[in-house]
Amino acid sequence: MTKTNDDFQNSASSRSVHAGEQREKPYHSLIDPIVPTSTYVFDSYEDICQFTQDKNNAVPTDRLEYGRYGNPTIRAVEQRLAALEGGEEALLFASGMAAVTTTLLTFLKAGDHIIFTDDIYRKTREFGQNFLQRFGVESTVVAIGNEEELNAAIRGNTRLILSETPTNPYLRVVDIERLVEIAKQHGLLTIIDATFATPINLRPLEFGVDLVIHSGTKYLGGHHDLLSGVVIGRKELADLVREHVNLMGAVADPYNAYLLLRGMKTLALRVRHQNQASMQLAEYLLTQPLVEQVYYPGLTNHPDHDIAKRQMTGFGGVVSFTLLSDLERTARFLDRLKIPYITPSLGGAESLVSQPALLSYYSISAEDRAAWGIKDNLVRYALGIEDAQDLIDDLQQAFDWLKNQT
């Protein structure tokens, strides 16, 4: 009997290390090997016939024919991700955006309508409002948490609702139970991008969500050294998406899959540290006279604190805040920081900081940024695994400098 590592793995920490792995691996290796092949060979005509017969009859098999349709290293990652989220099936993609776009193209056609909640990742929103519109798919953006606006946006041709939680960059938290309830009343699919939450802090499938998306580039990989995306959910839905990724080719490669598999082993440790350190940093920022507002769902003054407390086990590793400053002095404040790197990403071992108005939204006019709610003085701080007090001390010296500039 083949042993697996799934027995007795009830905690997120254990699942992130062991879930989905075969206990006995090739060559008695402890670690799942990288299988860098683009194709797979058949021993004979009979071997081909048996493979074709099994495939046509949906007989489970580990046999593969071509790299675009599967890979053992990638499959190990998918099985672990499915276990972490509590889903039946997971699909790995070349990037988070590949996961988003392929999934939407799977379930939408000309004449359909999709609803996005606001404050979602800019490129996801642009894909819906610009790219899909070219192919006859309409979209509506509604304010997160505004149930009346959501109900009013639902039409006869609406097919799905896509939201993030927590959102980027203001860390809004959607009431998943209520979102799912409304969607089911109208027969709509629900998709949640839970990249900021990770499976350690939130498992949306447990609330009835149909599909969960992650940018594996962020917390799942955890080391700023790979690109990947994943979709997780019920098998019948995941199989539909798999058909499309096999056709369009936005597949992961085994080298990145190996890095992701390795990164996930420390996922629970990293996220729990980031939860704790982010709370410390957010509370510190509340005491600073040059801080205009702090956005962190762990704070009681956050508009979605009660929702976050009810459905999340941790509040995440990103803290956003606005300064009593203008665009240039906010940028100079970031220049003074000595620990975080200035770059628009998150989720790794190193802390990162960005000013969205100058990085993620640099190509948009000031008027359009304002319409999107992106303030010139907004800072997004994505904590790594450094000591919280070191990060706070670093912020303090930057605040001391800013104080002398006002």
pLDDT tens digits for range 131-179? 999 999 999 999 999 999 999 999 999 999 999 999 999 999 999 999 9
List, by residue range, all CATH 3.40.640.10 domains of the chain.
12-35+71-264
d(C-alpha 64, C-alpha 132), whole Å:
33
Q: Give pLDDT, residue 315.
A: 98
Question: Can you list the positions of beta strands (E) in 15-154?
Answer: 89-93, 113-117, 138-142
Q: Which residue has the tokens 């104080």?
A: 403
The token pair that represents 118 in the structure block: 């606001």
Domain with CATH 3.90.1150.10 in the chain: 267-405
Residue 66, CA distances (Å) to 72, 73, 84, 289, 306 in order: 12, 14, 27, 60, 48
3-state SS assignment for residue 66: strand
Q: Which residue numbers in the chain have pLDDT < 70?
A: 1-9, 361-363, 406
Per-residue pLDDT, 5: 56
Which CATH architecture does the domain made up of 267-405 adopt? Alpha-Beta Complex (3.90)
Separation between Cα atoms, residue 102 and residue 242, nearest integer Å: 9
Residues labelled catalytic = 68, 121, 193, 218
The pLDDT value recorded for residue 64 is 86
Helices (H), 220-318: 235-248, 254-264, 267-286, 305-311
CA distance 282 to 273: 14
- The CATH code of the domain at 12-35+71-264 is 3.40.640.10
Give the pLDDT score at 406: 67
